[in-house]
Structure 1
């Protein structure tokens, strides 16, 4: 279990299914975390989420330290081949917890953890074009756009690009040193 200023990062428990199912059934959240059709998912069709939980390098449920409210989840997804030391990061926050700075708090913790404790060389992610708040957050953390898969994702009746972003360990180190010098 890890903590940041306002959050607890803990292991998944079977009692978390209800909250995770709610994330995948909220179209405002699901459109950004699933490339499947945005349709209601029942507990008997929840196996793909549980597969992600089981196969992730690290999967954490996010809770508020004050009161224990469910905030969402964050994960490092499995990658092929460990020699390249690439961590693929994912995050999903419940709509009630948007616009509170939790994405910044989680992102900084996860990127730092990947470099300092998982010996990653890079952290990468994908984001659907049009998710402007997420893109701005990732850039603020230090991610840069590395490429696009054009018109790959079908969203709300139209095709969107899938943006590939990444940050390297030396970029994070330089950025961390600048932050330390400012404080």
Structure 2
């Protein structure tokens, strides 16, 4: 899990095409999460069982804190665009170096109550902004998070959930190696119909097999 140059002072990690950085309590991250994630109608439909409605800045502020309190909480980014010119010494003030472009968020978080950490179980969740879905970024980010969870956080089990009508998400999770563990029947109300919440999981030894470790 290599790091990349850090000209902006953020802590960066990266996979093949993506950059992962901490969520900051700053206006730019709040604006991205409020407008690019929380108020996206598709994300509200596919990623949360909360009622679909406009989300305020306060919601984004609470969301930042929730991600920061997670075991792992990151903004998923594309690498910075290449610089178009070389700064001139003793010339005009150089333009700020380009920053990674945020395209989503991802968290790994405990679901059991405090004091249950010895069970080493956590859940993974992520969302990608409009225009960045269907490009393989979700699968790449999940694989990176799984490697982090089992290599660095010492987890034994990572779960992930999807609504039964989110066929593309379920197809992806199963392709990545998650195993169906159960479902909460008719737990989600969507477009005047009831749908199941599907629960999938991956164990540490299953991840080892996928990565050719044993």
Q: Deviations over 1:33-69 (max 9, x none)?
A: 2221010112134354234223211100011014322
- Contact 2:38/2:60 (CA < 8 Å) preserved in 1? no
Question: 1:95 offset after TM fit, Å?
Answer: 1.9
Q: Distance in 2 between matches of 1:78 and 1:167?
A: 15
Aligned residue pairs total: 179
Computed over aligned residues only, the root mean square deviation of the Cα atoms, in angstroms, reads 1.6
Task: Find out whether 1:78 has 2:110 as its counterpart.
Answer: yes
SS of the equivalent of 2:131 reads helix
Task: Find out whether 1:144 has 2:176 as its counterpart.
Answer: no
- Contact 1:52/1:77 (CA < 8 Å) preserved in 2? no
Greater helix percent: which structure?
A: 1
TM-score using structure 2 length: 0.79
- Contact 1:55/1:78 (CA < 8 Å) preserved in 2? no
SS of the equivalent of 2:211 reads helix
Task: Find out whether 1:161 has 2:175 as its counterpart.
Answer: no
What is the aligned counterpart of 1:92 among 113, 121, 127? 127
What stretches of structure 2 of length at least 5 have no aligned partner? 1-11, 82-99
Q: Distance in 1 between matches of 2:62 and 2:45?
A: 16
SS of the equivalent of 1:76 reads strand
Q: What corresponds to 2:159 in structure 1? A: 124
Q: What corresponds to 1:20 in structure 2? A: 33
Q: Equivalences for 1:12-91 in 2 at 5 Å? A: 12-13=23-24, 14=26, 15-22=28-35, 23-67=37-81, 68-80=100-112, 81-91=116-126
Q: Distance in 2 between matches of 1:124 and 1:148?
A: 12
SS of the equivalent of 1:108 reads helix
From the CA coordinates, give the structure whose radius of gyration is larger.
Answer: 2
Q: Deviations over 1:97-142 (max 9, x none)?
A: 0011101110111111111111110110111111111111111110
Q: What corresponds to 2:211 in structure 1? A: 176
Q: Distance in 2 between matches of 1:147 and 1:87?
A: 16
- Contact 2:30/2:61 (CA < 8 Å) preserved in 1? no
